[in-house]
Structures are given as C-alpha cells and as structure tokens.
Amino acid sequence: MDVVCTAGHVDHGKSTLVRALTGMEPDRFAEERERGLTIDLGFAWATLGEGDRARTVAFVDLPGHERFIGNMLAGAGAVRLALLVVAADEGIMPQTHEHLDILELLGVTSAVVALTKTDLVDTDTRAVAEALVRDELLRRRLPDAALVGVSGTTGAGLEALVAALIDALDVQPPEPDLERPRLWIDRVFTVTGAGTVVTGTLAGGRVAVGDELVVHPAGHRVRVRGLQSLKAPVTAAPPGTRLAVNLSGVDKAAVTRGDALVRAGQWRTVTAFDALVDVLPDHELDRRGAWQVHAGSAQRSARVHPVEARPLSGGGFVRVELGQPLTITAGDRFVLREAGRRATVAGGMVLDADPPPRPRGAARLARVAALDRRGA
C-alpha cells in the first residue's frame, strides 16, 4: 500500500480529483458535502494502474482553507508523496504557497502536480498556469515533479495522472521496519459491539492482533482486538499501512487525535527537545510570542528559545519547550506556527529529545557545537 496526501488552495478541486480517481467520497461530513468545502481529513483509496504496475493507493485528502491548516498538518505528517493540486483558472494562490512550505519543512521531497479545471480555460491560460507552476517548483525542492493537466469533472487527463503517480511511487523507498511501531492517531470513534477504534498511518514497525500497546502520552495500556486496512480485516500490518485499530482497555473519551499508539518500553514522551530549524523567508523566530508545534498528527503549545539567545532568520538551533508531552524522537520532523497570527514560520528536525538543562552564557557555544555535530 502507498499513502498519498493531497495539498493545495481551497476550491482547487482536491476532493473532486480524489473522487474521480477512486470512485469514493472523501468528505466524511454532510456539512462538507453541502458546502463543497473540506474541513477535516478525508480518506479514499483505489487500485491504480494495471498488471504488474497496479498499486493500491490510499489518499489522505487535506483541507485547503487557511482556517483548517491545523487539520491539514495532522494529515500531512505521515506521508512521503504529495499530490499538489493547482487550478488552471486561478493558478498558484496563498494556500498553495503555505502547503508547499509545510511539505518542505516536513521533508516531503516527492510530489506530482495536477493542474485541475483545464476544461474551464483556453490554451493560452493553461500554458501560463503551467509555466507559473513550473517556476514555483524550480524554487522549491521539487524541480522534477511531474505536471499533468486534468479535469476531475470530465475525466480528461486522469490516465496520465495515474501513470505519473505510479512513476513517482515506483522510486519511493519502502517504509523501513525498525521493529518500533508508532501510529499517530488521526481519528477516534466507536463501533457498536467492538468499542474504541483509532486510525492512522503506521510507521516504524508491524502490529498484529493481540499485541499489547500503549497510548501515549496518557500511558493507557491497550490490546489490539482487531485490525482493518481499507475496510478489510487483517491479522497484521506492516509499516506504511493506513490502519484502523480496534482497541480494548480504553474508552473513546480517553484517546484523541495527536496521541500515539506505540509498543510499551520503546517510546517515551518528552516536554522539551533541541532541533535544527529552517525559518521561512520574511519571518523571524525568537523566544517571544506563543507557538504551536505540529508533529505527526499532534499539535502542542510551545515556547521556543534560540540556543544562541538571538532571533533567528534563515535557520539555526532551538530549544522547544512543550505545554504537553509529545511522543517524539531524534530524526522526527515538525512545523512551528505562530499562534497569534496563525502563520507557518519554521520547521525542522529533532536532534535531541532528551536535552540537558537550557544552556546560559558561555555554555551556549558548547551546546551549539554539540548540536552541530548531531545535525551533520
């Protein structure tokens, strides 16, 4: 199975495209379907391609409106390939830029671009839109991304888009099995007769029916009663699988989006970490202000302290102090948003999830040198 997230500006046709590719309705709520506006994460899947090239692809459909960036981040944190959607009649818009910023900060370096609504524009308008998109991709880390013109309404270009997606997936390395599973929970619900069910994209290792696991950060010990992948029951699942896990030993009210389902003794929760961050152009990162950390499907309030005790522009080392515990480790990627302006400002990679006390004075230089060695 391959997991792909959509990205792009509101009303550029992400859900329409997923619907055309899969034959499924990704919008889960009546309000979304009535308003034509994706508010929360949507899910759909299909077998794309034929014969030896056929692949089962699960799509995580992300909301495009700036008010729902938090929901977008909850779905983008566990995927490695994005389907960027840009409408030919509008071109690149503000949330196109922000979604691309977020994908870069999360380390997503593989994408396919769908230029949608091509049935609504003339040849010249389409050519201009394509040129602007290619220029944007060259500025990013996506210069080789395929660009395919499509219409989710008429179906034009869908066959070429499927081929481009399969080409991109063919060169993706397999999800590593580190024998250390972690599932960032993005949905929690109950099923009559079964009890609590959580969903997410599994990473780091396998899980199986009967496994004893822990829900972090609360520490609830649970047992896997059942597993489903794409609504089909399975007895075990490898990393990289979209998964629904039926849990015993915990009520729905005790679990929430952003919790992590892990194996006991393999993971710890942290309230501070040191990281190397990239700061977006025209932004600055300093210890003032209120920040939100987004990692996996989790969102935490935070204080940010540049290790060198000066505002950062461009990038550098920071100490992040969290308002609530988070199941995070060295190598994990995250995004920082300024809470007041609701703006994406920076993101990067955790270098030390068990840092020493925050350095002061001359000790800052020694800490910078230590973090520089970790980040090399």
**13 shares its domain with 149:** yes
**20 shares its domain with 102:** yes
**238 shares its domain with 312:** no
In a domain, 24, yes or no: yes
What is the tally of structural domains in the chain?
A: 3
**109 shares its domain with 13:** yes
**282 shares its domain with 333:** yes
CATH number of the domain enclosing 293: 2.40.30.10
Query: What is the average pLDDT across 262-273?
Result: 96
Q: Is the pTM of this model over 0.85?
A: yes
In a domain, 147, yes or no: yes
**49 shares its domain with 146:** yes
**Domain ranges, residue 216:** 182-263
Nearest alpha-carbon partner for 270 in 327, 323, 226? 327
pLDDT tens column, 124-145: 999 999 999 999 999 988 888 9
**226 shares its domain with 149:** no
CATH number of the domain enclosing 74: 3.40.50.300
**235 shares its domain with 275:** no
Query: What is the average pLDDT across 351-360?
Result: 89
**15 shares its domain with 96:** yes
How far apart are the C-alpha atoms of 259 and 198, rounded to whole Å? 10
Dig out the tokens for 101 from the structure: 């910023």
pLDDT tens column, 295-352: 999 999 999 999 887 888 888 999 999 999 999 999 999 999 998 888 899 999 999 9
**236 shares its domain with 188:** yes
pLDDT category of residue 32 using cuts at 50, 70 and 90: very low
Of 226, 241, 263, the position where a domain reaches its end is 263
Please indicate whether residue 28 or residue 108 has the higher confidence score (pLDDT).
108
Dig out the tokens for 195 from the structure: 């009890």
In a domain, 364, yes or no: yes
pLDDT category of residue 68 using cuts at 50, 70 and 90: low
Give backbone dihedrals phi and psi of 108, rounded to 5 degrees, phi first: -80, 110
Spell 39-75 as b/e; 16+ CB within 10 A means b.
Answer: bbbbbbbbebbeeeeeeebbbbbbbbeeebbebbbbb
DSSP state of 8: -
